[in-house]
Homo-oligomer: A and B are copies of this chain.
C-alpha cells in the first residue's frame, strides 16, 4: 500500500478471504490507503468487501468505487445483503445507488425491502437454482453448472412445478450419489421444511437449529418458492438476537461494541440512566413519606439496601429465564400459565427461606424480635412479588408486542426497589405502632 504498486497489490488483495479483506480495510487508518485498497479490487472482490463492512465503512468504500463499475458491483452483491445496506443508508444515498443498478436487480431489492424488518423475506436470497421433477440428474447438474459462477453459496437445488410451487429439494450429495439418468422426482426429498416470507427471523433460526439444516426455502401463502435462507445468515441472526437479549437485560444501550466511540457509548447509555434516576427519586419520595418511622427506628435503614437489592436480584433472575425462554420456546397459554405457577412457587420458596434467615440475623444483630419479624416478613413478601414482577412484566410486553427493550433488567430492578420500599416501610410503620421496639 505504501508503494502504491497497484498490479502487485491487486494480486494480493483480490486473493484474500472476504472476511479478512473486510478486516484489513477497516483497520487501514488513512483514507488514501483505503482508496488505493478499493481501487486494487476487482468487481467480485468489491461486492464481497461491501458485505463484510460496517455501515460507516460501507459508505467510505462506496465513495471510492469508480461510478462506471459501481452498478456492476451492486448487481453482484447477494440481494439480502444489498437490501440491508440500502436500509441503513440515508434515503438520497440509497436512491443514488439504486439508480446505477440494473433494473432487474433494483426491482428485486425493492421487493425485498417491502418485507417487514427481521422477517424471513428480508434474509432470503433469490440466487438459487430451481429444477423440475421430470429433469434428469444429468440435466440438473448441467443447469447448476450454468449458474454456478453467479451463485456461490448453494447446497441444494429446489424442485418446483410449472406454477413455481415447491415440491422438494435435491442436495448436492443426492446428485453425486445418484445415477446421471435418474429422474429428479425419484431422488429428491419430498415435503422440505419451508417458511413463509413474513415469519420472524427468530422462528427461522429455531427451525434451522432444530432440524440441523444448512438452507431453507422461503415460500408465499400459495407455497410458491420466493428464495432461500442460508445457515450463515441464521448464525448472524442468532448472534444478533442474543446480543439484543443481553442489551435488554442490562439496559446497556443498543449496539455498543468494543469499537464504539466514548461519546457515542455515552449518548446511548445516558437516556436509560436519566430515566432510572428519575424513577429512583420515587423511592426517595416513598422514604420521605415514612420519615417519622425512619427517624424513630434508624436501624430500619440498615436493611433497606439489602431488601431492595434482593428484590431486584430475584426479579432479574426471573426476567433472564423468561427472556431467554421466549427466544427458544413457542409461547402459548399453557406454557405461560405453567411458567407463572412455577415462578410463584419458586418465589414463595425463596421468600420463606431468605425471610427466615434474615429474621434471625436481624434479631441477633439488633436484639429486637419486632425488628427481626418486620425484616423477615418484608423480605418474604417482597421476594414473592419481585419474582412475579420479573416473570409477568416481560410476558405482558411480549403479548402486546411492545418493544421488549422496555422490560430491561434495570427497569425491573428499579420497579422492584420501589415496590420493596413500600412493603418494607408499610409493614414497619404498622407493626412499630403496635409493638414498639
Whether B316 lies near A303 (C-beta < 8 A) is no
> Quick one: given A246-B249, A249-B246, are A209 and B313 in contact (CB under 8 Å)?
no
Cα A261 to Cα B338 with chains together (Å): 10
Residues of B within 8 A of A308 (CB): 305, 308-309
Cα A265 to Cα B390 with chains together (Å): 15
Residues of B within 8 A of A276 (CB): 309-310, 313
Whether A258 lies near B325 (C-beta < 8 A) is yes
Of B172, B235, B306, the residue contacting A281 (CB under 8 A) is B306
Task: Tell yes or no: A262 within 8 A of B by CB.
Answer: yes
Chain B residue nearest in CB terms to A325: B258
Cα A305 to Cα B288 with chains together (Å): 12
Chain B residue nearest in CB terms to A137: B176
Interface residue ranges, A against B (CB under 8 Å): 17-19, 141, 144-145, 148, 153-155, 171-173, 175-177, 193, 208-212, 214, 231-232, 234-236, 238-239, 242-243, 245-247, 249-253, 256-258, 260-263, 265-266, 269-270, 272-274, 276-277, 280-281, 283-285, 287-288, 291, 294-295, 298-299, 301-306, 308-310, 312-314, 316-321, 323-325, 328-329, 335, 338-339, 342, 345-346, 349-350, 353-354, 357-358, 361, 409-410, 413-414, 417, 421
Residues of B within 8 A of A409 (CB): 249-250, 316, 409
Whether A350 lies near B269 (C-beta < 8 A) is yes
Residues of B within 8 A of A236 (CB): 209
Most buried by B among A144, A175, A320: A320
> Quick one: given A155-B155, A236-B209, are A252 and B350 in contact (CB under 8 Å)?
no
| A–B Cβ pairs within 8 angstroms, 22 of them | A18-B211, A19-B211, A144-B177, A153-B212, A172-B172, A175-B176, A209-B232, A209-B235, A238-B242, A242-B246, A246-B323, A252-B320, A252-B321, A257-B324, A269-B350, A276-B313, A277-B354, A298-B298, A301-B301, A316-B410, A409-B409, A413-B413
Most buried by B among A153, A316, A339, A345: A316
The 5 closest A-B pairs by CB, nearest first: A250-B320, A242-B242, A280-B306, A172-B172, A284-B302
Main secondary structure of the interface of A (DSSP, over half): helix
Cα A23 to Cα B29 with chains together (Å): 52
Residues of B within 8 A of A177 (CB): 144-145, 148
Whether B250 lies near A319 (C-beta < 8 A) is yes
Whether A258 lies near B339 (C-beta < 8 A) is yes
Residues of B within 8 A of A19 (CB): 210-212
Chain B residue nearest in CB terms to A331: B258
> Quick one: given A211-B17, A250-B320, A316-B251, are A309 and B243 in contact (CB under 8 Å)?
no
> Quick one: given A211-B19, A299-B288, A353-B270, are A256 and B321 in contact (CB under 8 Å)?
yes
Residues of B within 8 A of A357 (CB): 274, 277
Chain B residue nearest in CB terms to A51: B212
Residues of B within 8 A of A288 (CB): 299, 302
Residues of B within 8 A of A238 (CB): 235, 238-239, 242
Residues of B within 8 A of A242 (CB): 238-239, 242, 245-246
Whether A349 lies near B262 (C-beta < 8 A) is yes
Chain B residue nearest in CB terms to A307: B280
Cα A208 to Cα B231 with chains together (Å): 11
Residues of B within 8 A of A153 (CB): 212
> Quick one: given A208-B235, A245-B246, A295-B298, are A280 and B310 in contact (CB under 8 Å)?
yes
Whether A176 lies near B144 (C-beta < 8 A) is yes
**From residue A343, how far is it (CB to closest CB) to chain B in Å?**
8
**From residue A325, how far is it (CB to closest CB) to chain B in Å?**
5
Whether B329 lies near A258 (C-beta < 8 A) is yes
Residues of B within 8 A of A253 (CB): 317
11 additional A-B pairs beyond A235-B238, A252-B317, A313-B413, beta carbons within 8 Å, are A175-B176, A209-B232, A209-B239, A249-B250, A251-B313, A257-B329, A266-B350, A273-B317, A287-B301, A308-B308, A313-B410
**From residue A388, how far is it (CB to closest CB) to chain B in Å?**
14
